[in-house]
Structure 1
Amino acid sequence: MKDWRKRPRRRHSQELKAQVLAQCAQPGASVAAVALAHGLNANVVHKWRRMTGEAATPLASFIPVALPAPAAVQQDIRMELRRGTTTMTIVWPSAAAAECAAWMRELLR
């Protein structure tokens, strides 16, 4: 049985490396699939990519996105009035705050 550790290192031509790296650069290409198709270990191909600077994907540039203005959240005026044993809960739209104040003045006279 031959010891695998004594096997000489494989040397790959620059042409093969360029061909493999070009295939890896294709959209949707898998480095592992390309390496397997060429009888290479995927880690070797990843190392070639790092050495040539191809592994780093370009950062996406900033793209401003226009967002619609958020809808104004209209809070309601909420009041709880107690007179003796009677309790009233009043919910009034905040857009009509002046009318709410007038109503309260009349109610509390």
Structure 2
Amino acid sequence: MAACQGPGVSVAAIALMHKLNANLLRRWLEKAESGATTTAGDVMAMKPSAAAPASPAFVPLQLSDANDHRREIRVEVRRGQQSITISWPTSDAAQCAAWLREWLK
């Protein structure tokens, strides 16, 4: 909650960073400002729901034959009706990753 106290801070961005619901964080801030105490309902709202989907994560894939230079990394980008496909040899995967990081900035 301390991160939300600065001028011009986005409560929604802070909530997203900590995987919280922005409305829940705002309610906590309002209670803190009014001097109210935390209730059992507030504590239950902090617990992740069993029905809540898991956060997406990077999943490394193991190539079946890392020495096979015929394989390639393919990246397809679509924007509206247009699309481009980039092919990159798996032997240069590190360079592909660096290029993608730079391109996605």
TM-score of the pair, normalised by structure 2: 0.32
- Of structures 1 and 2, the larger Rg is shown by 1
